[in-house]
């Protein structure tokens, strides 16, 4: 009996710490409204996240995309739905097609490597100095 209880607790613990696989279609479940911010003297797109996305906030998720090694010396990394030549910065797609990545260490992956990234999802609707989607405590692996 004690063994069954111990096994049950162990399985429950493992399941509660697992990650959810998401896709770029999941991240597209957002709407944007243009809002003028006096501090920047400019208008920005402010997101309203779907309930599906709100339910994922603070949870570990895994998503596949193109690794963009923007400024490794400053630990600035992005995951993009498309390669660098057709990413959000180049005008192809919206802010929902890119995710800011936060790692503890410098990463040695190259731009446009296709990777699987796992991290804790943070939804950002207020800080225009960061992306709308941020993954913290990231780990990644090359898929190519």
Count the domains in the chain.
1
Per-residue pLDDT at 73:
86
| Per-residue pLDDT tens digits of the chain, which is 144 residues long | 444 433 343 333 343 457 899 999 999 999 999 999 999 999 999 999 999 999 999 999 999 999 998 888 888 899 999 888 766 666 667 889 999 999 988 888 899 999 999 999 999 999 999 999 999 999 998 886
Per-residue pLDDT at 5:
38
Whole-number Å distance between alpha carbons of 5 and 1: 6
**What is the end-to-end Cα distance of the chain in Å, rounded?**
46
Per-residue pLDDT at 78:
94
Whole-number Å distance between alpha carbons of 144 and 134: 24
CATH code, 53: 2.40.50.870
Could you tell me the residue range of the domain that residue 67 belongs to?
A: 19-142
For residue 4 the two structure tokens come to: 């069954």
Q: Is residue 109 part of a domain?
A: yes
Q: Is residue 3 part of a domain?
A: no
């Amino acid at each position: 009996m004690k063994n069954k209880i111990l096994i049950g607790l162990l399985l429950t613990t493992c399941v509660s710490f697992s990650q959810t696989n998401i896709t770029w279609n999941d991240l597209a479940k957002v709407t944007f409204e243009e809002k003028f911010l006096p501090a920047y003297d400019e208008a920005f797109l402010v997101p309203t996240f779907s309930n599906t996305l709100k339910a994922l906030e603070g949870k570990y998720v895994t998503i596949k995309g193109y690794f963009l090694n923007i400024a490794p010396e400053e630990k600035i990394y992005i995951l993009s739905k498309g390669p660098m030549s057709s990413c959000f910065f180049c005008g192809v797609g919206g802010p929902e097609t890119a995710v800011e990545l936060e790692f503890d260490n410098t990463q040695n992956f190259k731009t446009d490597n296709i990777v699987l990234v796992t991290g804790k999802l943070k939804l950002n609707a207020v800080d225009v100095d960061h992306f709308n989607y941020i993954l913290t405590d990231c780990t990644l692996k090359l898929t190519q």
